Amino acid sequence: MKKVARTEIPRKAVYRLSVYLRCLHRLLNNSIHTVSSEVLAKAAGVKSTQLRKDLTYFGQFGTRGLGYDVEQLIEMITKRLGTKSLQPVVIVGVGNLGRALLSYRGFEREGFGIIGAFDIQPGRYLLEETSTDEQPAKTAGKVKLSEWLKAEKIQVQVRPMEELPKVIADHVIKLSILCVPPTAAQEVANQLVECGVVAILNFAPIVLSVPDEVTVNNVNLAMELENLSYFING
Q: What is the pLDDT of residues 67-85, one digit of tens each?
A: 889 999 999 898 888 877 7
Domain assignment present for residue 1? The answer is no
Mark whether 207 and 115 lie in a shared domain. Answer: yes
Q: How many domains does the chain have?
A: 2
CA-to-CA distance for 173 and 198, rounded, in angstroms? 9
Domain assignment present for residue 232? The answer is no
Domain boundary among the residues 79, 112, 134 is at: 79
> What CATH number is attached to the domain comprising 56?
1.10.10.10
CA-to-CA distance for 206 and 218, rounded, in angstroms? 8
Full domain range(s) for residue 38: 11-79
Structure confidence by residue, pLDDT tens digits, 31-73: 999 999 899 999 999 999 999 899 888 776 656 667 889 999 9
> What CATH number is attached to the domain comprising 125?
3.40.50.720
The least confident of 2-11, 177-186, 215-224 is 2-11
Mark whether 99 and 39 lie in a shared domain. Answer: no
Mark whether 50 and 134 lie in a shared domain. Answer: no
Question: Taking residues 97-116, what's their average pLDDT?
Answer: 91
Domain boundary among the residues 79, 104, 127 is at: 79
Domain boundary among the residues 51, 79, 107 is at: 79
Domain assignment present for residue 166? The answer is yes
Question: Taking residues 205-230, what's their average pLDDT?
Answer: 91
CA-to-CA distance for 4 and 179, rounded, in angstroms? 38
SS3 at position 175: strand
Average pLDDT, the chain: 86
Crossing angle (nearest 10°) for helices 48-55 and 11-29 = 100
Question: In this predicted structure, what is the pLDDT of residue 2?
Answer: 38
Mark whether 75 and 179 lie in a shared domain. Answer: no
Structure confidence by residue, pLDDT tens digits, 152-203: 888 888 999 999 999 999 999 999 999 999 999 999 999 999 999 999 999 9
Mark whether 73 and 150 lie in a shared domain. Answer: no
In terms of pTM, does the model score above 0.75? yes
Q: Report whether 178 contacts 189 (CB < 8 A).
A: yes
Mark whether 17 and 91 lie in a shared domain. Answer: no
